[in-house]
Amino acid sequence: MSATVPGAWEAGREHRRVCVLGPWQLELRDDELAELTHRGRRVLRGVQAVLRDPDWNTIDWTVDGIELGDQELSISLRVDQAARADAELRVRASDDRLLVDFGLRARQTFWTNRVGMVVLHPPELSGTPLAVDHTKGSQELTAFPSAISPHQPALDITGLTWRAGAGRVRLEFSGDIFEMEDQRNWTDASFKTYNRPLAAPFPYRIEAGEQVRQRLVIQVSEPPPDNDGPVRIEPEPITLSELTDQAPAIAVAASTAADPAPGGEPVSGILLSELIVGAPNSPAALRRAMATGCELDLRVVIGSETVSELTELLNPLNPARVVRIGAFDAHTHLSTDSAVTLLRTALDRLGLSSIPVIGGARSHFTELNRGQDRLPQQLAGIGFSITPMFHSRSTVQLVESLPIQRLVAEQARGIAAGRPLHIGPITLRPRFNNVATTQAGVRTGSDLSSGYGPSQPVDDRQDSPELAAWTIASAAALAVPTVESLTYFEDWGPQGVRDHRGDRPVAAALRRLGTLRGSLSGGHSSDHLVWVLADRRRLLVANLDQVPRRVVLSDRSTRIPLRLAPGQWCEHQRG
Protein backbone atom coordinates (compact mmCIF):
# COMPACT_ATOMS: atom_id res chain seq x y z
CA MET A 1 0.00 0.00 0.00
CA SER A 2 1.33 3.43 -0.99
CA ALA A 3 1.89 5.94 1.82
CA THR A 4 -0.56 8.84 1.99
CA VAL A 5 0.09 12.51 2.65
CA PRO A 6 -1.80 13.40 5.86
CA GLY A 7 -4.43 16.06 5.36
CA ALA A 8 -3.62 16.76 1.69
CA TRP A 9 -7.31 16.83 0.74
CA GLU A 10 -8.24 19.20 3.55
CA ALA A 11 -5.11 21.30 3.01
CA GLY A 12 -6.44 21.98 -0.49
CA ARG A 13 -9.59 23.57 0.93
CA GLU A 14 -7.76 26.84 1.63
CA HIS A 15 -7.88 28.87 4.83
CA ARG A 16 -11.48 29.89 5.49
CA ARG A 17 -12.90 32.74 7.49
CA VAL A 18 -16.53 33.84 7.57
CA CYS A 19 -16.86 37.64 7.36
CA VAL A 20 -20.10 39.43 8.25
CA LEU A 21 -20.50 42.98 6.93
CA GLY A 22 -23.94 44.15 8.05
CA PRO A 23 -26.55 42.22 6.00
CA TRP A 24 -23.78 40.85 3.76
CA GLN A 25 -21.76 37.73 4.45
CA LEU A 26 -18.87 36.15 2.60
CA GLU A 27 -16.37 33.37 3.13
CA LEU A 28 -12.76 34.52 2.85
CA ARG A 29 -10.81 31.66 1.24
CA ASP A 30 -7.20 32.82 1.21
CA ASP A 31 -7.48 35.76 -1.24
CA GLU A 32 -10.95 34.92 -2.64
CA LEU A 33 -14.22 36.53 -1.52
CA ALA A 34 -16.39 33.41 -1.83
CA GLU A 35 -20.10 32.70 -1.40
CA LEU A 36 -21.35 36.28 -1.19
CA THR A 37 -24.83 36.41 0.36
CA HIS A 38 -27.23 39.21 1.22
CA ARG A 39 -29.65 38.52 4.07
CA GLY A 40 -28.98 34.81 3.61
CA ARG A 41 -29.55 34.71 -0.15
CA ARG A 42 -26.68 33.76 -2.44
CA VAL A 43 -25.69 36.63 -4.76
CA LEU A 44 -22.33 35.55 -6.23
CA ARG A 45 -20.16 32.45 -6.18
CA GLY A 46 -17.14 34.67 -5.64
CA VAL A 47 -14.99 37.70 -6.40
CA GLN A 48 -11.24 37.39 -6.77
CA ALA A 49 -8.19 39.38 -7.82
CA VAL A 50 -6.20 37.42 -10.40
CA LEU A 51 -2.80 37.74 -11.99
CA ARG A 52 -1.91 35.55 -15.00
CA ASP A 53 1.51 35.05 -16.51
CA PRO A 54 2.10 35.09 -20.31
CA ASP A 55 1.12 31.38 -20.50
CA TRP A 56 -2.16 31.98 -18.59
CA ASN A 57 -0.79 30.30 -15.48
CA THR A 58 -2.13 31.72 -12.22
CA ILE A 59 0.44 33.61 -10.14
CA ASP A 60 -0.41 32.98 -6.50
CA TRP A 61 -0.84 35.91 -4.14
CA THR A 62 0.69 36.06 -0.70
CA VAL A 63 -1.80 37.45 1.83
CA ASP A 64 0.11 39.98 3.92
CA GLY A 65 -2.74 41.15 6.12
CA ILE A 66 -6.49 41.14 6.73
CA GLU A 67 -8.44 43.89 8.48
CA LEU A 68 -12.11 43.28 9.26
CA GLY A 69 -14.53 45.84 10.65
CA ASP A 70 -18.29 46.02 11.03
CA GLN A 71 -18.81 47.29 7.48
CA GLU A 72 -15.37 46.97 5.86
CA LEU A 73 -12.85 44.32 4.88
CA SER A 74 -9.34 44.94 3.56
CA ILE A 75 -6.93 42.30 2.21
CA SER A 76 -3.30 43.21 1.55
CA LEU A 77 -1.67 41.12 -1.20
CA ARG A 78 1.70 40.80 -2.89
CA VAL A 79 3.49 38.68 -5.46
CA ASP A 80 7.23 38.05 -5.62
CA GLN A 81 7.59 35.45 -8.38
CA ALA A 82 7.16 35.97 -12.15
CA ALA A 83 5.99 39.48 -11.21
CA ARG A 84 6.62 41.82 -8.30
CA ALA A 85 3.65 43.86 -7.16
CA ASP A 86 1.63 44.97 -4.15
CA ALA A 87 -2.17 44.92 -4.24
CA GLU A 88 -5.26 45.40 -2.10
CA LEU A 89 -8.85 44.21 -2.18
CA ARG A 90 -11.09 46.53 -0.21
CA VAL A 91 -14.76 45.77 0.53
CA ARG A 92 -17.26 48.28 1.93
CA ALA A 93 -20.84 47.35 2.75
CA SER A 94 -24.09 49.23 3.22
CA ASP A 95 -27.63 47.92 3.52
CA ASP A 96 -28.22 46.98 -0.12
CA ARG A 97 -24.84 47.78 -1.67
CA LEU A 98 -21.38 46.19 -1.64
CA LEU A 99 -18.40 48.07 -3.05
CA VAL A 100 -15.26 46.10 -4.01
CA ASP A 101 -12.12 48.02 -5.01
CA PHE A 102 -8.96 46.46 -6.40
CA GLY A 103 -5.69 48.31 -6.62
CA LEU A 104 -2.24 47.11 -7.74
CA ARG A 105 1.12 48.83 -7.94
CA ALA A 106 3.96 47.15 -9.84
CA ARG A 107 7.35 47.08 -8.10
CA GLN A 108 9.04 46.03 -11.34
CA THR A 109 8.08 45.77 -15.00
CA PHE A 110 6.41 42.47 -15.93
CA TRP A 111 4.36 40.85 -18.68
CA THR A 112 0.89 39.47 -18.02
CA ASN A 113 -2.19 38.17 -19.83
CA ARG A 114 -4.58 39.47 -17.17
CA VAL A 115 -4.51 41.46 -13.97
CA GLY A 116 -7.66 42.51 -12.14
CA MET A 117 -10.94 41.28 -10.73
CA VAL A 118 -13.04 38.33 -11.83
CA VAL A 119 -16.61 37.68 -10.72
CA LEU A 120 -17.96 34.13 -10.49
CA HIS A 121 -21.71 33.70 -10.96
CA PRO A 122 -23.33 30.52 -9.59
CA PRO A 123 -24.43 27.86 -12.11
CA GLU A 124 -28.03 27.94 -10.87
CA LEU A 125 -28.39 31.20 -12.84
CA SER A 126 -28.43 29.07 -15.99
CA GLY A 127 -31.33 30.24 -18.19
CA THR A 128 -31.97 33.39 -16.11
CA PRO A 129 -32.73 36.52 -18.21
CA LEU A 130 -29.80 38.96 -18.18
CA ALA A 131 -29.46 42.62 -19.14
CA VAL A 132 -25.96 43.65 -20.32
CA ASP A 133 -24.86 47.30 -20.34
CA HIS A 134 -22.22 48.20 -22.95
CA THR A 135 -19.50 50.85 -23.07
CA LYS A 136 -21.39 53.11 -25.53
CA GLY A 137 -24.50 53.20 -23.37
CA SER A 138 -26.63 50.56 -25.11
CA GLN A 139 -28.25 47.63 -23.31
CA GLU A 140 -28.59 44.07 -24.60
CA LEU A 141 -31.20 41.60 -23.30
CA THR A 142 -29.93 38.04 -23.20
CA ALA A 143 -29.69 35.20 -20.62
CA PHE A 144 -27.16 33.18 -18.71
CA PRO A 145 -26.68 30.17 -21.02
CA SER A 146 -28.65 26.98 -20.35
CA ALA A 147 -26.51 24.76 -22.58
CA ILE A 148 -22.77 25.19 -22.02
CA SER A 149 -21.82 28.07 -24.29
CA PRO A 150 -18.76 27.44 -26.48
CA HIS A 151 -18.01 31.16 -26.75
CA GLN A 152 -18.46 34.24 -24.57
CA PRO A 153 -22.17 34.79 -23.84
CA ALA A 154 -21.61 38.49 -23.14
CA LEU A 155 -18.99 40.99 -24.38
CA ASP A 156 -18.15 44.66 -23.80
CA ILE A 157 -19.64 44.70 -20.29
CA THR A 158 -20.00 47.70 -18.01
CA GLY A 159 -23.03 46.41 -16.11
CA LEU A 160 -25.11 43.27 -15.55
CA THR A 161 -28.65 43.01 -14.16
CA TRP A 162 -30.73 39.91 -13.44
CA ARG A 163 -33.69 38.85 -11.35
CA ALA A 164 -33.05 36.90 -8.15
CA GLY A 165 -36.25 35.49 -6.71
CA ALA A 166 -38.58 38.42 -6.14
CA GLY A 167 -35.68 40.88 -6.23
CA ARG A 168 -32.93 42.07 -8.51
CA VAL A 169 -29.11 42.04 -8.61
CA ARG A 170 -27.12 44.68 -10.47
CA LEU A 171 -23.35 44.77 -11.00
CA GLU A 172 -21.42 47.80 -12.26
CA PHE A 173 -17.82 47.48 -13.48
CA SER A 174 -15.21 50.19 -13.98
CA GLY A 175 -11.46 50.37 -14.60
CA ASP A 176 -11.47 48.12 -17.68
CA ILE A 177 -13.78 46.46 -20.20
CA PHE A 178 -15.21 43.16 -19.00
CA GLU A 179 -16.69 40.10 -20.70
CA MET A 180 -18.15 36.75 -19.65
CA GLU A 181 -17.27 33.12 -20.33
CA ASP A 182 -19.02 29.88 -19.44
CA GLN A 183 -16.57 28.10 -17.14
CA ARG A 184 -18.70 24.97 -17.16
CA ASN A 185 -16.66 24.12 -20.29
CA TRP A 186 -13.85 23.18 -17.88
CA THR A 187 -16.31 21.63 -15.34
CA ASP A 188 -16.12 24.74 -13.11
CA ALA A 189 -19.37 25.46 -11.29
CA SER A 190 -19.60 29.07 -12.49
CA PHE A 191 -19.97 31.68 -15.17
CA LYS A 192 -17.04 34.11 -15.03
CA THR A 193 -17.02 37.83 -15.76
CA TYR A 194 -13.42 38.97 -16.21
CA ASN A 195 -11.51 42.05 -17.23
CA ARG A 196 -9.62 42.76 -20.43
CA PRO A 197 -11.25 41.36 -23.59
CA LEU A 198 -9.58 38.30 -25.11
CA ALA A 199 -9.56 40.16 -28.44
CA ALA A 200 -7.01 42.61 -26.95
CA PRO A 201 -3.34 41.72 -27.54
CA PHE A 202 -1.66 39.54 -24.92
CA PRO A 203 0.65 39.30 -23.16
CA TYR A 204 0.86 43.00 -22.32
CA ARG A 205 3.34 44.99 -20.27
CA ILE A 206 2.87 46.53 -16.83
CA GLU A 207 5.60 49.09 -16.17
CA ALA A 208 7.37 49.50 -12.85
CA GLY A 209 5.39 51.97 -10.76
CA GLU A 210 2.26 51.55 -12.88
CA GLN A 211 -1.04 51.24 -11.02
CA VAL A 212 -4.13 49.21 -11.91
CA ARG A 213 -7.46 50.21 -10.36
CA GLN A 214 -10.85 48.56 -10.82
CA ARG A 215 -14.18 48.80 -9.04
CA LEU A 216 -17.16 46.47 -8.71
CA VAL A 217 -20.47 47.74 -7.33
CA ILE A 218 -23.02 45.11 -6.27
CA GLN A 219 -26.54 46.42 -5.75
CA VAL A 220 -29.45 44.23 -4.58
CA SER A 221 -33.13 44.96 -4.20
CA GLU A 222 -35.16 42.17 -2.66
CA PRO A 223 -37.75 41.53 0.03
CA PRO A 224 -36.51 40.03 3.30
CA PRO A 225 -36.19 36.23 3.22
CA ASP A 226 -39.24 34.29 4.36
CA ASN A 227 -37.20 31.42 5.83
CA ASP A 228 -33.71 30.50 6.95
CA GLY A 229 -32.82 28.66 3.72
CA PRO A 230 -32.82 24.97 2.89
CA VAL A 231 -32.89 22.49 5.74
CA ARG A 232 -31.00 19.21 5.42
CA ILE A 233 -33.15 16.14 6.04
CA GLU A 234 -31.42 13.31 7.91
CA PRO A 235 -31.45 10.62 6.76
CA GLU A 236 -31.80 12.04 3.25
CA PRO A 237 -33.67 9.83 0.80
CA ILE A 238 -31.85 9.19 -2.50
CA THR A 239 -33.94 7.52 -5.18
CA LEU A 240 -31.90 5.56 -7.71
CA SER A 241 -32.81 5.94 -11.36
CA GLU A 242 -31.57 4.25 -14.52
CA LEU A 243 -28.47 5.92 -15.94
CA THR A 244 -27.25 3.75 -18.82
CA ASP A 245 -27.81 0.23 -20.13
CA GLN A 246 -24.09 -0.52 -20.37
CA ALA A 247 -21.44 0.17 -17.73
CA PRO A 248 -18.48 2.15 -19.15
CA ALA A 249 -15.15 0.36 -19.35
CA ILE A 250 -12.71 1.73 -16.75
CA ALA A 251 -9.19 2.49 -17.98
CA VAL A 252 -6.05 4.27 -16.81
CA ALA A 253 -3.57 6.30 -18.84
CA ALA A 254 -0.04 5.13 -19.51
CA SER A 255 2.49 6.52 -17.07
CA THR A 256 4.58 9.48 -18.15
CA ALA A 257 7.02 8.95 -15.26
CA ALA A 258 10.64 7.89 -15.62
CA ASP A 259 11.65 4.24 -15.77
CA PRO A 260 11.68 1.78 -14.13
CA ALA A 261 8.04 0.73 -13.85
CA PRO A 262 6.88 -0.82 -10.57
CA GLY A 263 5.77 -4.40 -10.31
CA GLY A 264 2.25 -5.45 -9.48
CA GLU A 265 -1.00 -5.86 -11.35
CA PRO A 266 -2.30 -2.97 -13.48
CA VAL A 267 -5.52 -1.47 -12.16
CA SER A 268 -7.26 -1.92 -15.51
CA GLY A 269 -6.95 -4.14 -18.55
CA ILE A 270 -7.16 -1.07 -20.82
CA LEU A 271 -4.35 1.47 -21.06
CA LEU A 272 -4.73 4.84 -22.81
CA SER A 273 -1.40 5.81 -24.35
CA GLU A 274 -0.82 9.18 -25.99
CA LEU A 275 2.03 9.23 -28.51
CA ILE A 276 3.61 12.45 -29.74
CA VAL A 277 4.63 11.68 -33.31
CA GLY A 278 8.19 12.79 -33.96
CA ALA A 279 9.26 12.80 -30.32
CA PRO A 280 12.44 10.70 -30.04
CA ASN A 281 11.12 8.70 -27.07
CA SER A 282 7.67 7.93 -28.52
CA PRO A 283 8.78 4.46 -29.70
CA ALA A 284 9.97 3.72 -26.16
CA ALA A 285 6.63 4.94 -24.75
CA LEU A 286 4.76 2.61 -27.10
CA ARG A 287 7.00 -0.33 -26.22
CA ARG A 288 6.43 0.27 -22.50
CA ALA A 289 2.66 0.44 -23.01
CA MET A 290 2.66 -2.76 -25.06
CA ALA A 291 4.77 -4.55 -22.43
CA THR A 292 1.95 -4.20 -19.86
CA GLY A 293 -0.13 -6.73 -21.78
CA CYS A 294 -3.13 -4.39 -21.57
CA GLU A 295 -5.39 -3.59 -24.46
CA LEU A 296 -4.42 -0.20 -25.86
CA ASP A 297 -6.49 2.91 -26.46
CA LEU A 298 -4.00 4.91 -28.54
CA ARG A 299 -4.04 8.66 -29.24
CA VAL A 300 -1.48 10.09 -31.68
CA VAL A 301 -0.57 13.78 -31.68
CA ILE A 302 0.53 14.96 -35.11
CA GLY A 303 2.36 18.16 -36.03
CA SER A 304 4.20 18.47 -39.35
CA GLU A 305 5.21 14.80 -39.45
CA THR A 306 4.78 12.64 -42.53
CA VAL A 307 2.82 9.46 -43.05
CA SER A 308 6.12 7.57 -43.19
CA GLU A 309 7.07 8.75 -39.68
CA LEU A 310 3.66 7.75 -38.33
CA THR A 311 3.80 4.38 -40.10
CA GLU A 312 7.21 3.68 -38.58
CA LEU A 313 5.97 4.56 -35.09
CA LEU A 314 2.87 2.33 -35.33
CA ASN A 315 4.60 -0.58 -37.06
CA PRO A 316 4.96 -2.73 -33.88
CA LEU A 317 1.22 -2.73 -33.16
CA ASN A 318 -0.72 -5.95 -32.79
CA PRO A 319 -4.23 -5.11 -34.06
CA ALA A 320 -5.81 -7.63 -31.72
CA ARG A 321 -4.57 -5.60 -28.71
CA VAL A 322 -5.71 -2.13 -29.90
CA VAL A 323 -9.31 -1.23 -29.04
CA ARG A 324 -9.26 2.17 -30.75
CA ILE A 325 -6.94 4.90 -32.00
CA GLY A 326 -7.41 8.66 -32.31
CA ALA A 327 -5.55 11.45 -34.11
CA PHE A 328 -5.14 15.04 -32.90
CA ASP A 329 -3.47 18.14 -34.26
CA ALA A 330 -0.52 19.21 -32.09
CA HIS A 331 -1.47 22.89 -32.27
CA THR A 332 -5.29 22.98 -32.03
CA HIS A 333 -5.51 19.77 -29.93
CA LEU A 334 -8.54 18.83 -32.04
CA SER A 335 -8.99 16.02 -34.51
CA THR A 336 -8.58 17.61 -37.93
CA ASP A 337 -9.21 16.22 -41.41
CA SER A 338 -5.48 16.24 -42.14
CA ALA A 339 -4.53 14.42 -38.91
CA VAL A 340 -7.23 11.75 -39.31
CA THR A 341 -6.40 11.26 -43.00
CA LEU A 342 -2.73 10.81 -42.14
CA LEU A 343 -3.64 8.23 -39.50
CA ARG A 344 -5.98 6.31 -41.81
CA THR A 345 -3.30 6.22 -44.51
CA ALA A 346 -0.72 4.87 -42.05
CA LEU A 347 -3.14 2.22 -40.79
CA ASP A 348 -3.93 1.14 -44.36
CA ARG A 349 -0.23 0.73 -45.13
CA LEU A 350 0.19 -1.44 -42.04
CA GLY A 351 -2.88 -3.54 -42.71
CA LEU A 352 -4.51 -2.14 -39.55
CA SER A 353 -7.55 -0.43 -41.10
CA SER A 354 -9.89 -2.54 -38.94
CA ILE A 355 -8.91 -0.54 -35.82
CA PRO A 356 -11.69 1.97 -35.00
CA VAL A 357 -10.58 5.59 -35.49
CA ILE A 358 -11.98 8.14 -33.03
CA GLY A 359 -11.53 11.88 -32.64
CA GLY A 360 -12.47 14.89 -30.57
CA ALA A 361 -10.25 17.00 -28.30
CA ARG A 362 -7.20 15.86 -26.36
CA SER A 363 -7.44 18.87 -24.05
CA HIS A 364 -10.82 19.88 -22.59
CA PHE A 365 -14.51 19.74 -23.43
CA THR A 366 -14.04 23.44 -24.24
CA GLU A 367 -12.19 22.71 -27.47
CA LEU A 368 -14.67 19.98 -28.42
CA ASN A 369 -17.57 22.35 -27.79
CA ARG A 370 -15.97 25.12 -29.84
CA GLY A 371 -14.73 22.88 -32.65
CA GLN A 372 -17.56 20.37 -32.99
CA ASP A 373 -18.53 21.62 -36.46
CA ARG A 374 -14.97 21.09 -37.72
CA LEU A 375 -14.58 17.46 -36.68
CA PRO A 376 -13.89 14.96 -39.47
CA GLN A 377 -16.72 12.78 -40.71
CA GLN A 378 -17.11 9.07 -40.04
CA LEU A 379 -15.36 8.97 -36.68
CA ALA A 380 -16.09 5.79 -34.72
CA GLY A 381 -16.29 7.68 -31.43
CA ILE A 382 -15.73 11.04 -29.72
CA GLY A 383 -13.25 11.67 -26.92
CA PHE A 384 -12.21 14.53 -24.66
CA SER A 385 -10.37 15.04 -21.37
CA ILE A 386 -11.49 16.50 -18.04
CA THR A 387 -9.25 18.57 -15.77
CA PRO A 388 -11.30 20.15 -12.95
CA MET A 389 -8.35 22.16 -11.60
CA PHE A 390 -7.65 24.15 -14.77
CA HIS A 391 -8.66 27.46 -13.16
CA SER A 392 -8.29 26.75 -9.44
CA ARG A 393 -6.28 24.27 -7.39
CA SER A 394 -8.69 24.13 -4.46
CA THR A 395 -10.42 21.03 -3.16
CA VAL A 396 -13.70 22.98 -3.26
CA GLN A 397 -13.21 23.30 -7.02
CA LEU A 398 -12.84 19.52 -7.34
CA VAL A 399 -16.01 18.77 -5.39
CA GLU A 400 -18.06 21.48 -7.11
CA SER A 401 -17.10 20.07 -10.52
CA LEU A 402 -19.06 16.84 -10.00
CA PRO A 403 -22.56 18.00 -11.04
CA ILE A 404 -21.01 19.97 -13.90
CA GLN A 405 -19.31 16.78 -15.11
CA ARG A 406 -22.80 15.30 -15.54
CA LEU A 407 -23.84 18.35 -17.55
CA VAL A 408 -20.71 18.12 -19.71
CA ALA A 409 -21.29 14.41 -20.40
CA GLU A 410 -24.90 15.05 -21.41
CA GLN A 411 -23.91 17.85 -23.79
CA ALA A 412 -21.04 15.79 -25.24
CA ARG A 413 -23.56 13.03 -25.88
CA GLY A 414 -25.46 15.46 -28.09
CA ILE A 415 -22.29 16.40 -29.96
CA ALA A 416 -21.44 12.72 -30.50
CA ALA A 417 -24.89 12.17 -32.06
CA GLY A 418 -25.15 8.50 -31.17
CA ARG A 419 -21.46 7.65 -31.42
CA PRO A 420 -19.67 6.22 -28.37
CA LEU A 421 -18.09 8.68 -25.95
CA HIS A 422 -14.63 8.08 -24.51
CA ILE A 423 -13.96 10.48 -21.62
CA GLY A 424 -10.42 10.85 -20.38
CA PRO A 425 -7.81 11.08 -19.24
CA ILE A 426 -9.59 12.55 -16.21
CA THR A 427 -6.85 14.13 -14.09
CA LEU A 428 -6.61 16.62 -11.23
CA ARG A 429 -4.32 19.10 -12.97
CA PRO A 430 -3.77 19.72 -16.69
CA ARG A 431 -1.51 17.21 -18.46
CA PHE A 432 -0.25 20.07 -20.62
CA ASN A 433 -0.96 23.78 -21.04
CA ASN A 434 -3.09 24.03 -24.19
CA VAL A 435 -3.28 27.85 -24.00
CA ALA A 436 0.43 28.56 -23.47
CA THR A 437 1.96 31.30 -25.61
CA THR A 438 5.47 29.89 -25.19
CA GLN A 439 6.88 26.50 -26.12
CA ALA A 440 6.41 23.96 -23.33
CA GLY A 441 9.35 21.89 -22.21
CA VAL A 442 9.09 18.24 -23.25
CA ARG A 443 11.17 15.43 -21.79
CA THR A 444 13.31 14.17 -24.65
CA GLY A 445 15.92 11.51 -25.33
CA SER A 446 15.40 8.15 -26.98
CA ASP A 447 14.49 6.35 -23.75
CA LEU A 448 12.24 6.99 -20.76
CA SER A 449 14.94 7.56 -18.17
CA SER A 450 13.57 11.06 -17.52
CA GLY A 451 9.93 10.33 -18.38
CA TYR A 452 7.77 11.20 -21.34
CA GLY A 453 5.91 14.24 -22.63
CA PRO A 454 5.49 17.63 -20.87
CA SER A 455 6.56 17.82 -17.24
CA GLN A 456 3.55 17.81 -14.91
CA PRO A 457 3.11 19.24 -11.39
CA VAL A 458 2.69 16.81 -8.51
CA ASP A 459 -0.48 17.12 -6.42
CA ASP A 460 -0.43 15.59 -2.93
CA ARG A 461 -4.14 14.80 -3.21
CA GLN A 462 -3.21 11.96 -5.56
CA ASP A 463 -2.41 10.02 -2.36
CA SER A 464 -5.57 11.03 -0.48
CA PRO A 465 -8.24 8.52 0.54
CA GLU A 466 -10.78 11.21 -0.36
CA LEU A 467 -9.67 11.04 -4.00
CA ALA A 468 -11.07 7.50 -4.12
CA ALA A 469 -14.49 8.81 -3.01
CA TRP A 470 -14.23 11.64 -5.55
CA THR A 471 -13.49 9.13 -8.33
CA ILE A 472 -16.56 7.04 -7.45
CA ALA A 473 -18.65 10.23 -7.54
CA SER A 474 -17.09 11.33 -10.83
CA ALA A 475 -17.88 7.96 -12.46
CA ALA A 476 -21.47 8.26 -11.21
CA ALA A 477 -21.72 11.75 -12.71
CA LEU A 478 -20.29 10.66 -16.08
CA ALA A 479 -22.27 7.41 -16.44
CA VAL A 480 -24.75 8.57 -19.07
CA PRO A 481 -25.92 6.70 -22.19
CA THR A 482 -23.28 6.19 -24.94
CA VAL A 483 -20.32 6.76 -22.57
CA GLU A 484 -18.28 3.69 -23.46
CA SER A 485 -15.10 4.30 -21.48
CA LEU A 486 -13.78 6.42 -18.61
CA THR A 487 -10.02 6.84 -18.19
CA TYR A 488 -8.68 8.11 -14.85
CA PHE A 489 -5.19 9.37 -13.96
CA GLU A 490 -2.07 7.35 -14.90
CA ASP A 491 -1.25 3.72 -14.20
CA TRP A 492 1.73 4.57 -11.97
CA GLY A 493 4.04 7.41 -11.02
CA PRO A 494 3.39 10.82 -9.38
CA GLN A 495 0.13 11.25 -11.35
CA GLY A 496 -0.69 7.55 -11.08
CA VAL A 497 -2.92 5.24 -9.08
CA ARG A 498 0.11 3.15 -8.07
CA ASP A 499 3.76 3.79 -7.25
CA HIS A 500 6.75 1.67 -6.21
CA ARG A 501 5.23 1.24 -2.73
CA GLY A 502 2.00 -0.23 -4.06
CA ASP A 503 -1.56 0.90 -4.71
CA ARG A 504 -2.73 4.37 -3.79
CA PRO A 505 -6.20 4.56 -2.17
CA VAL A 506 -7.82 5.57 -5.48
CA ALA A 507 -6.72 2.27 -7.05
CA ALA A 508 -9.23 0.30 -4.97
CA ALA A 509 -12.06 2.54 -6.16
CA LEU A 510 -11.06 2.07 -9.79
CA ARG A 511 -10.79 -1.69 -9.38
CA ARG A 512 -14.34 -1.81 -7.97
CA LEU A 513 -15.68 0.47 -10.68
CA GLY A 514 -14.16 -1.92 -13.22
CA THR A 515 -16.28 -4.78 -11.87
CA LEU A 516 -19.63 -3.08 -12.58
CA ARG A 517 -21.50 -4.80 -15.39
CA GLY A 518 -24.57 -4.25 -17.49
CA SER A 519 -27.10 -1.54 -16.81
CA LEU A 520 -26.29 1.06 -14.16
CA SER A 521 -28.48 3.12 -11.86
CA GLY A 522 -27.49 5.98 -9.64
CA GLY A 523 -28.42 9.10 -7.77
CA HIS A 524 -27.07 11.88 -5.60
CA SER A 525 -28.01 13.99 -2.61
CA SER A 526 -29.65 17.37 -3.10
CA ASP A 527 -26.34 19.14 -2.40
CA HIS A 528 -24.35 16.85 -4.75
CA LEU A 529 -22.03 15.71 -1.96
CA VAL A 530 -23.25 12.09 -1.81
CA TRP A 531 -23.19 10.05 -5.04
CA VAL A 532 -24.31 6.50 -5.80
CA LEU A 533 -23.49 4.21 -8.73
CA ALA A 534 -24.93 0.68 -8.84
CA ASP A 535 -25.36 -2.36 -11.03
CA ARG A 536 -27.65 -5.31 -10.26
CA ARG A 537 -25.22 -6.78 -7.71
CA ARG A 538 -23.66 -3.93 -5.77
CA LEU A 539 -23.83 -0.26 -4.90
CA LEU A 540 -20.84 2.09 -4.67
CA VAL A 541 -21.56 5.12 -2.47
CA ALA A 542 -19.29 8.16 -1.98
CA ASN A 543 -19.55 10.95 0.59
CA LEU A 544 -17.62 14.12 -0.33
CA ASP A 545 -18.95 16.03 2.67
CA GLN A 546 -16.71 16.98 5.59
CA VAL A 547 -19.15 15.45 8.05
CA PRO A 548 -20.82 12.02 8.33
CA ARG A 549 -24.00 11.60 6.30
CA ARG A 550 -27.01 9.37 6.75
CA VAL A 551 -28.94 8.45 3.62
CA VAL A 552 -31.60 5.97 2.57
CA LEU A 553 -31.10 4.54 -0.92
CA SER A 554 -34.15 3.19 -2.69
CA ASP A 555 -35.37 1.93 -6.02
CA ARG A 556 -38.26 -0.32 -7.03
CA SER A 557 -36.86 -3.30 -5.13
CA THR A 558 -34.37 -1.93 -2.58
CA ARG A 559 -34.39 0.27 0.52
CA ILE A 560 -30.99 0.59 2.16
CA PRO A 561 -30.17 2.93 5.08
CA LEU A 562 -26.48 3.87 5.27
CA ARG A 563 -24.25 5.97 7.46
CA LEU A 564 -21.32 7.38 5.48
CA ALA A 565 -18.02 8.57 6.92
CA PRO A 566 -16.77 11.96 5.67
CA GLY A 567 -14.62 11.86 2.55
CA GLN A 568 -15.00 8.09 2.16
CA TRP A 569 -16.72 5.56 -0.07
CA CYS A 570 -18.23 2.17 0.61
CA GLU A 571 -19.57 -0.84 -1.24
CA HIS A 572 -22.90 -2.45 -0.41
CA GLN A 573 -24.09 -5.75 -1.85
CA ARG A 574 -27.69 -5.95 -3.04
CA GLY A 575 -29.93 -8.58 -1.52
- Per DSSP, the residues of 292-332 read T--EEEEEEEESS--HHHHHHHHTT--GGGEEEEEEEETTT
CATH number for the domain formed by residue range(s) 8-221:
2.70.98.10
Cross-strand pairs, 44: 36
Whole-number pLDDT of residue 454: 86
Give the closest residue to 102 by CA, choosing from 155, 35, 31: 31
The 3-state DSSP class for residue 399 equals helix
CB-facing half-sphere around the CA of 323: CA atoms within 13 A: 17
**Mean pLDDT of the region 455-482:** 95
CA–CA gap between residue 153 and residue 135 (Å, rounded): 16
Whole-number pLDDT of residue 166: 75
Kindly write down the DSSP assignment for every residue of 325-353, as one continuous string. Answer: EEEEETTT-B--HHHHHHHHHHHHHTT-T
Neighbours of 551 (CB within 10 A): 23
Residue 64: C-alpha distances to residues 61, 74, 87, 106 (Å):
9, 11, 10, 16
DSSP 176: S
Whole-number pLDDT of residue 26: 97
Instruction: Give residue 38's pLDDT band: very low, low, confident or very high (50, 70, 90).
Output: very high
Share of the chain above pLDDT 70, in %: 96
Is the predicted pLDDT of residue 226 greater than 60, yes or no?
A: no
**Mean pLDDT of the region 465-493:** 98
| pLDDT tens for each residue of 171-221 | 999 999 999 999 999 999 999 999 999 999 999 999 999 999 999 999 999
Q: Where are the domains positioned within the chain? A: 8-221, 248-515
Whole-number pLDDT of residue 33: 97
Whole-number pLDDT of residue 14: 63
Question: In one letter, which amino acid is 408?
Answer: V
**Mean pLDDT of the region 550-555:** 94
Q: Which fold has domain 248-515?
A: TIM Barrel (3.20.20)
Q: Are 93 and 66 in contact (CB under 8 A)?
A: no
Is the predicted pLDDT of residue 248 greater than 70, yes or no?
A: yes
Whole-number pLDDT of residue 435: 85
Is the predicted pLDDT of residue 228 greater than 80, yes or no?
A: no
| pLDDT tens for each residue of 285-338 | 999 999 999 999 999 999 998 999 999 999 999 988 999 999 999 999 999 999
Higher pLDDT, 10 or 548: 548
pTM flag (> 0.75)? yes
Whole-number pLDDT of residue 240: 96
Instruction: Give residue 55's pLDDT band: very low, low, confident or very high (50, 70, 90).
Output: very high
Whole-number pLDDT of residue 442: 67
